[in-house]
C-alpha cells in the first residue's frame, strides 16, 4: 500500500540521519514511540533548542544566520556572549529558547485528531493540524514556552552585564522542562496504542 511504502522510505531516511548524528538525542525516544504506531510517521523533529540568531532585518528569516546553538543544557554563558559580540552591527541579534517541535504524517484525520489531543494533554498545548493533503494529515506537536529576546539591536547590546547568568539560567530551565515534557509525551503516545489501535 501507498502509506506503508512511504512510511518505510521515510523511516529508512530517519535511521540514516540518526546514524550520521543529525537527530538530537532527546528527540529519538519520541520518534521511536510515534513511528511504532501503524498510523503515524514522523517527518521532522527538534527536541527544543537555544539559539543565537542574527537577522539582517527583523523577521527576515531567509537571510537569518545561526551564531550558536544548543539542544541540551548547559548553555554556556561565555559562548553566548562571544557569539553576541561577534554578531554584525546592522540588523538584530536574538537569543531564543524554542520548544520541542515534531511534524507527524498521519494516515487519516481521525488518527491526527487522536495524536493532537494526546500531545496537548501531555503539555504541548500549541499542537495543531498543520496541513491536509488528500487523506493524509500533518500534525505539529509544539510546546508553548519560549523566550525570544533581542540581545543586540543596531550594534548595541541590550542585556545588563549582571543579568546574563539569570537569562541563561532561564534558557537552561526551559530546555530542561522541554525534555521532561518529552518523557511525558512518550508515555502518552504509548498509551495511544492501547486505547485506539
Binding status of residue 173 toward a copy of itself by CB under 8 A: yes
Select from 3-11, 14-22, 43-51, 172-180 the region that touches a copy of itself (CB under 8 A). Answer: 172-180
Select from 13-21, 37-45, 146-154, 183-191 the region that touches a copy of itself (CB under 8 A). Answer: 146-154
103: its cell numbers: 511534524
**At its nearest, how many Å lie between a copy of itself and the CB of residue 61?**
9
> 82 preceded by cis ω (within 30°)?
no
Binding mask 59-98 for a copy of itself (x = CB under 8 A): x--------------------------------x------
Binding status of residue 146 toward a copy of itself by CB under 8 A: yes
Report whether 42 contacts 34 (CB < 8 A): yes
**At its nearest, how many Å lie between a copy of itself and the CB of residue 86?**
19
**At its nearest, how many Å lie between a copy of itself and the CB of residue 1?**
23
**CA–CA gap between residue 147 and residue 144 (Å, rounded):** 10
Q: Please, which residues bridge with residue 18 across strands? A: none
Select from 11-19, 65-73, 173-181, 187-195 the region that touches a copy of itself (CB under 8 A). Answer: 173-181
Binding status of residue 145 toward a copy of itself by CB under 8 A: yes
**CA–CA gap between residue 195 and residue 39 (Å, rounded):** 13
Report whether 115 contacts 40 (CB < 8 A): yes
Binding status of residue 28 toward a copy of itself by CB under 8 A: no
Strand-pair category, 40-46 with 92-98: unpaired
115: its cell numbers: 495524536
163: its cell numbers: 543579568
Applying CB under 8 A, the site for a copy of itself has a residue count of 33
Amino acid at each position: 500500500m501507498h502509506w506503508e511504502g512511504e512510511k518505510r522510505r521515510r523511516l529508512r531516511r530517519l535511521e540514516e540521519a540518526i546514524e550520521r548524528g543529525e537527530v538530537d538525542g532527546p528527540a529519538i525516544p519520541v520518534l521511536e514511540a510515534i513511528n511504532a504506531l501503524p498510523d503515524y510517521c514522523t517527518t521532522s523533529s527538534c527536541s527544543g533548542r537555544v539559539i543565537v540568531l542574527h537577522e539582517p532585518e527583523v523577521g527576515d528569516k531567509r537571510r537569518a544566520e545561526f551564531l550558536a546553538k544548543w539542544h541540551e543544557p548547559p548553555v554556556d554563558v561565555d559562548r553566548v556572549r562571544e557569539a553576541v559580540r561577534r554578531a554584525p552591527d546592522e540588523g538584530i541579534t536574538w537569543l531564543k529558547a524554542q520548544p520541542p517541535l515534531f511534524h507527524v504524517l498521519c494516515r487519516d484525520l481521525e488518527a491526527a485528531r487522536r495524536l493532537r489531543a494526546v500531545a496537548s494533554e501531555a503539555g504541548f498545548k500549541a499542537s495543531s493540524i498543520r496541513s491536509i493533503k488528500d487523506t493524509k494529515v500533518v500534525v505539529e506537536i509544539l510546546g508553548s514556552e519560549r523566550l525570544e529576546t533581542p540581545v543586540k539591536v543596531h550594534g548595541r547590546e541590550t542585556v545588563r552585564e549582571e543579568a546574563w547568568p539569570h537569562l541563561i539560567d532561564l534558557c537552561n530551565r526551559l530546555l530542561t522542562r522541554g525534555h521532561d515534557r518529552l518523557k511525558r509525551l512518550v508515555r502518552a503516545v504509548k498509551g495511544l496504542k492501547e486505547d485506539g489501535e
